[in-house]
A and B are shown apart, each in its own frame.
Chain A
Amino acid sequence: MTETNLRVFGIDLGTTYSAIAHVDETGRPTVCRNTDSLETTPSVVYFENESNVVVGSVAKNTAITHPDRVVSLIKREMGSAANYRFDDVDHTPESISALILKQLAQDAAEHTGSAVSQVVITVPAYFGMLERDATKNAGRIAGLDVIGIVPEPVAAALHYEATTHPGERTILVYDLGGGTFDTTVIRVSATEISVVCTDGDDRLGGADWDARLRDHLFERFAQQVPPGVDLEDDEEFLQSLVTISEDTKKQLSRAESRPVALRGAGASARIDVTRAQFEDLTKDLLDKTVDIVRRTLATLTEKEPDTRIDDVLLVGGSSSMPAVAQRLRAEFGWEPRLHDPHLAVAKGAALFALGRVVHREVDQARAEAADPVSADAAAAAAVDTVAARTGISVQTLESLSAKDTHNVLPKAFGVKLVDTSAPDWRDKPPSYYVEHLVHANDRLPTGDRTMTAGTVRENQTEIEIELYEQSGVVAGPGLEENKALTDGAGAITGLPRLPLGAPVDIRMEVDEEGLLRLAATERSTGKELTIEVRVSVLGAEQVAEATRVISGLTVSS
């Protein structure tokens, strides 16, 4: 056990802002300030030239003058194969995220005075395996050892649990960030943190509020400039409007109204925006979050009919908007708590990371011990050592390592079947639907789910299996409501001529890590097809290649 591998960090890799935290000697999670002395860093990357990349507020401001060399909101692309090219070098969402991670690690190293290697990175609860993998790859590309990926609401709940009274509680985390919104119902207790159900919209966040305000300011300003002056031609004005809109939005969380000074295309004006006006402009966006909360509560009732929400936690920077708490109070009668909205996720991630380390040390100590009795003693000694090394109390460490976390499946998965419900289905071209075996919000691991299908043609010698994933935020059986998984198809071939309706047993399971396994067995022959879906956008070589490129770049903020 070395000093350094005890220093682990939690990273909130956000759509618009990111933060990095660790647990200090007093046992409290602390956020590492960046070189601007700020706790959060804009998730914006500016490709200055072929050897230098700038991350953070400087990059964000540079968007005004060099919009085509700046990338923001990259998190929305995680898990996709989007490509970006600067100075003849290709970048992926993973490699660009890696640059942000690298910057955070660098800042944290400066802040704590020692190198950063082991990290836990948070992801939205709805991130599927694909996106989680991409996030893990981003960490590897940045040269970090990613010891865990944790859902953001779980991290927030961990931090909440660590700072409030103990006892089992059911909380609803309302996370309205910069680019995404999610609601998660979580059960917390001294020993377990488990997600009960989750829902959200991956394209709804502060940036949408900004866009509305930006359009509004633009319109208001346009009314004040002489006719014929084309503001749309003034790119610098348009870009500065982006920054001004976000700043004004934040100010309106504190003040009832703000004067906004605008200057563009040669004209100048000062425009007053009131909070009421702003709330009116964005009412439909807030409505949407409320609808999603309702949907979450409906899912909860379906899953666990008598569960009560004990506490409502507001996290994500955008939940600082007073309208959020007001609306939740009015709609549901809750007293929501703003729980360190900007930093709860990063701090929770730091706690989670430390828990992982203690766990690992304890496991190792037990494994090396000769017998169960000495194993217990060795485990206790290991915790003591960690406590001595880190200055954190044994009690804190024990409660952290004792915690188990459980997640739920974000989306439903199923297989494509022929619809045989119509009496004359045989005479018509086949119509397909998707039968889901595992559903969104099923607890992970799901355990085995089975079904039996039948062959649909006389003398069939081959059975094709295709795996589908729910496409939208709500599941539906229609083929157009699902998308086929890459590498998610296969066939059982070489079968004797089977009679119509010959049974095929299908078994599906998703493990803790989100790995999906499917087995299909033709009953009469016992022939089996298994599919394991472990999808990753970047292959191992590609990760290695990106790592080389990124480590050749200096990042600065």
Chain B
Amino acid sequence: MSRFDPRAYEDAVVKPLRRWSSRELPDDLVTRYAVEPGMTDAQLANRLVEVRALWNKGATSTGKAAAIRGIYKAFLTADVELKAREGADLDTAAWWRRFAARRASSRQGEVDDLAQTLRATFGTLGLVAAGQLEATMRAMSASLAPDEVDKALLAAGIRREVPLDLPKTSGLQDTVYRTLRARLADARMGSVVELLHGETPGFRILRSFSTTPPSTGGLGLAAVEQAIDRANRRSGNQADREALGILASAARGDVDLRALAVFHLLDEIRQNHAHGVPDAALLRQLRTSGLDDAEARLAVFSVRNETAVPRASGVTGVGELLADGKLVAARQLMATIGSSEDAAAARALVDRQTEQVVALRVAARESLRTGAEAEAYHQLRQAAVLAVDDEDLAAELRRVPPAPVLEVSTAQEGMGVRVSWRTPADHSDETGYRVVRRPDRVPRDPDDGVPVRDGPGAAVTVDGKAPAGITVGYAVFARVADGAWSRPVGGVIVPLPPVQDVRITHEGAVVNAQWKVHPETAEVEVTRQSPGHSGVPVRLTGRTSFTEHVVGDEHGYSFVARYRRSDGSMGSSPAVLVRSTGVERLAPVPALRITAVAGPRVAITWRKPGPAEVTIRRATAPAPWGFGETVSTAALVEHGEEVRGDLGDDGEWRTLTAAVPTGLFHYTAFTHGPAGVLRGQEDVFGVALPVTAVAARRLGDRHVLSWTWPEDAGTAEVSWPGGSRRITRAQYRDEGGCGLDCGSGQTVVSVVGVVASAGGECRSVPVEVVVAGRVPAVRYTVAVSRRLFGAGQVRVRLTADTPVARCSVVLVVAPGRVMPLRADQGQVLLRETRDIGAAEPVELVAELPRLRPPFWVRCFLPDGEPVRLVDPPTAQLKVP
């Protein structure tokens, strides 16, 4: 017997449990209690004392990490339970012998189980990462001791491995890299290694480069030069020579050719992996390129651990469509069912949901009649959830007036008034707002005054034409599309706008200033602030400029606009303070990027040309000035209108996000300087309304996309990596959605609403939807045998197209005529977790309670199971 070594014990037994995520401690008590075979009773009792003493110390020691203390505490708690259960027996060597024997036989099953799962999941590569192993054990709620896990790994032929951090960049300019890749492909070279050394099966490169037999020059400039030498003696190898030229320049420029070669080798592997290509195929690909087998495994393993691909579960059949609220689609799919029995079952389901929708619609109309709009809206919303793809219903929902907006506030902004509000939670992107202005009081209906904004978008608008000096009332009305208007909410304000766009030039001793005023400005007071002086009034030339001679080269000016109120008294705007500074260099904006964003709004991005202000104007015609030309402010305002909205900065880049009307416009950037305005880049852009509620369903390798069309879009452009199609509204209606062939992997599909207009097309912001990858299908058959007396039996046979490890299946029986759509709609007969191999069907047998027919027997998967369950024909499921 060895002496008890607390430190060794902590290292070997306690520390490995730090990240133990299962609630249960490993039940390997022999290890936990440090019991050794062949101990006498006395030795054993002594060992238990020693061990418990250590646990007590460890649980309270301040010198230990909380996680370690927690394990000691857990040991102690478990010890109390064990003592209570086993009593004094625990101190006998005989008990421990019995325990060890019992455990050895029962644990083997779990070890085997784990081994099998590991083999099925990681067998191809033979490698597992710590995180993968832990997650697997968590998923299996396995509570094996570390050495048992090792056993399982050994049995499965799988090794723990740490993923390598492989190069994520080539080290070359992107275009140069792409050229290299293309030339290698042209030259039919699988790798940089092959280009340099010819075919060298079994080369190693991930950590360092080697081949058997060794090749001269490794992966450096020398090897490249040798290869060039060889290539120069041949003809017809243009691609090789261009690729070699790139490598030579790269090597001279200190690019790590090994990293480059690895990156190239993995480039396609990474892409294929992202597209769901199985590991075995990736492995084969790498081996074909000549990579050593162990390295190929490690490479795929490392790539696999770079990103985890999310997998989603799929739905098929009418029942699933109904569960998703696709009533119209379900009805269409129902029509395609051949078997009359299945069709009848589907019809029952569809009819039931249809009735619910109809009932809700009737109730909603009644609510509307009695003035309970919120209630009506709620009821229609419920109906819409059951039939999301019913356009009529969507239209009816739009006609219910929305709740009024909240907390309208009014504030001075620029020359105008900024009206902003909060939108109630049930307003959507489609909710439009009309802001109405009138003098003296808040408008009472949408036509009681001048509309200053009409349409969906941000909960803010600026009324650039607000009068000044008098009381002005604003009200905000909401509605959806052409639906009914909400009640008004509003506020009043007395606008006193300050002067705008002050431009000061200061050349020599002359200061020249120009600014803009509100047309109702009665007068402007300008004072010059010089250091140590109180303000000196400045004499103006009119209301919008002055020229004066000054001493010194920096001065501050304060501008106050004054207005006459209706009672004859004067009101003053806040002061605008401007410093006269040196002339700044101006540059026109060279590039614009315009994109549609939800709203409909546009996001216009440009690089800020120094401190100068940039404005964007929107017009129906191109700007009449050339790029870089200086434009007077007076001429500028004649050209279209300024695009106003939210500004956001990202480093040098500024983005203006603004609501714009749909349709095609010219957008031009103008840089404002003291000497005028410089015309910058111009682009033509049109926005359309986007489609909404985009959803995708997978039918094998085909998908059906559905969405709700905006009012004016006649066409939609659907694109996915590797393809695109245009679909008209009529085609969409005929096809019952938009069918696509976009492969078996997970794919992102985007849909753009397109409206044709005179000068070109207006396109909406793309709406993206993730189409789930194809998931393994588990099929099953059901056989029900009933006996006259006593319980009957249900036999379920499960088969899978690819092996599925630990698939959980719930078998449910539900009385009545309607097929259960979820497990909780029936009584659970059986809940089993089994491995389903590709060849061997798995059979489940359950006792059938006595039931009066008709009733249904059906299997379900728990939520989130990465498997698709395929029902047998309804005839099997239904017991008539």
Contacts and interface: CB of A to CB of B under 8 A. Distances in A.
A266 B234 contact: no
A281 B233 contact: no
A271 B593 CA distance: 11
Secondary structure at chain A's binding surface: helix, strand, loop or mixed?
mixed
Interface in A267-317: 268-272, 280-281, 283-285, 287-288, 291
A478 B233 contact: yes
Interface in B732-786: 748-750, 761, 763, 766
Nearest to A283: B249
B179 A270 contact: no
Nearest to A271: B591
B591 A266 contact: no
Interface in A246-274: 259, 266, 268-272
B176 interface: yes
A212 B176 CA distance: 7
Contacts of A201: 241
Contact of B720 (A228, A272, A280, A285): A228
Contacts of A216: 173-175
Contact of A270 (B175, B233, B591): B591
Contacts of B241: 201, 203
A229 B179 contact: no
A476 interface: yes
A269 B593 contact: yes
Contact of B231 (A227, A233, A285, A472): A472
A392 to B, nearest CB: 44
A215 B179 contact: yes
Contacts of B248: 284, 287, 291
A291 B422 CA distance: 70
B622 interface: no
B719 interface: yes
A266 B593 contact: no
A285 B592 contact: no
Contacts of B176: 212, 281, 284
B590 A212 contact: no
Contacts of A229: 719, 724
Contacts of A481: 233-234
Nearest to B749: A228
How many A residues are at the interface, by size bracket? Answer: 35 or more
A50 interface: no
Contacts of B313: none
B721 interface: yes
B246 interface: yes
Interface string A192-228: 0000000001010000100110011001000010111
A474 interface: yes
B229 interface: yes
A480 B766 contact: no
A475 interface: yes
B719 A472 contact: no
Nearest to B594: A268
B18 interface: no
Contact of A269 (B174, B178, B591, B748): B591
A219 B593 contact: no
B354 interface: no
B681 interface: yes
A226 B766 contact: yes
Contact of B681 (A219, A227, A270): A270
| Most chain A C-beta atoms within 10 Å of own C-beta, residue among B175, B231, B248 | B175
B591 A227 contact: no
B581 interface: no
B763 A212 contact: no
B235 interface: yes
Contact of B175 (A208, A215, A230, A259): A215
B60 interface: no
A449 interface: no
B28 to A, nearest CB: 52
Interface string B700-721: 0000000000000000000111
Given A224-B593, A269-B591, A280 B245 contact: no
A212 B175 CA distance: 7
B160 interface: no
Contact of B178 (A215, A230, A285, A474): A215
B252 interface: yes
Nearest to A286: B249
B232 interface: yes
Nearest to A284: B249
A196 to B, nearest CB: 21
A521 interface: no
Interface residues of B, number: 43
B232 A272 contact: no
Contacts of B748: 227-228
Interface string B214-238: 0000000000000011011111011
B229 A474 contact: yes
B595 interface: yes
Contacts of B843: none
B641 interface: no
B663 to A, nearest CB: 16
Interface string B232-276: 111101100110011011101100000000000000000000000
Contacts of B233: 471-472, 474-476, 478, 481
| Most chain B C-beta atoms within 10 Å of own C-beta, residue among A211, A228, A471, A480 | A228
Given A212-B175, A219-B174, A268-B683, A230 B232 contact: no
A474 B248 CA distance: 18
Contact of A259 (B228, B249, B591): B591
B234 A272 contact: no
Interface in A473-488: 473-476, 478, 480-481, 483
Contacts of B228: 291
Contacts of A473: 232
A259 B590 contact: yes
Given A266-B763, A281-B175, A471-B234, A227 B590 contact: no
Contacts of A212: 175-176, 179
Contacts of B175: 212, 215-216, 219, 281
Contacts of B590: 259, 270, 272
B750 A285 contact: no
Contact of B245 (A269, A288, A476): A288
B721 A228 contact: yes
| Most chain A C-beta atoms within 10 Å of own C-beta, residue among B234, B241, B748 | B234
Contacts of B246: 284
A475 B174 CA distance: 35
B235 A284 contact: no
Nearest to B591: A270
Contact of A226 (B173, B595, B683): B595
Contact of B750 (A227, A284, A483): A227
Contact of B235 (A270, A280, A471): A471
B719 A266 contact: no
Contacts of A472: 231-235, 237
Contact of A284 (B245, B721, B763, B766): B245
A259 B589 CA distance: 12
A145 B111 CA distance: 92
A201 B761 CA distance: 48
B591 A272 contact: yes
* Closest 5 A/B residue pairs (Cβ): A284-B249, A228-B719, A476-B233, A474-B232, A481-B233
Interface of A: 201, 203, 208, 211-212, 215-216, 219, 224, 226-230, 233, 259, 266, 268-272, 280-281, 283-285, 287-288, 291, 471-476, 478, 480-481, 483
Interface of B: 173-176, 178-179, 228-229, 231-235, 237-238, 241-242, 245-246, 248-250, 252-253, 590-593, 595, 681, 683-684, 719-721, 723-724, 748-750, 761, 763, 766
9 contacts: A215-B178, A219-B174, A229-B724, A270-B590, A272-B591, A281-B176, A284-B249, A471-B233, A472-B232
Given A212-B175, A228-B720, A270-B592, 5 more contacts: A228-B724, A281-B176, A471-B233, A471-B235, A483-B235
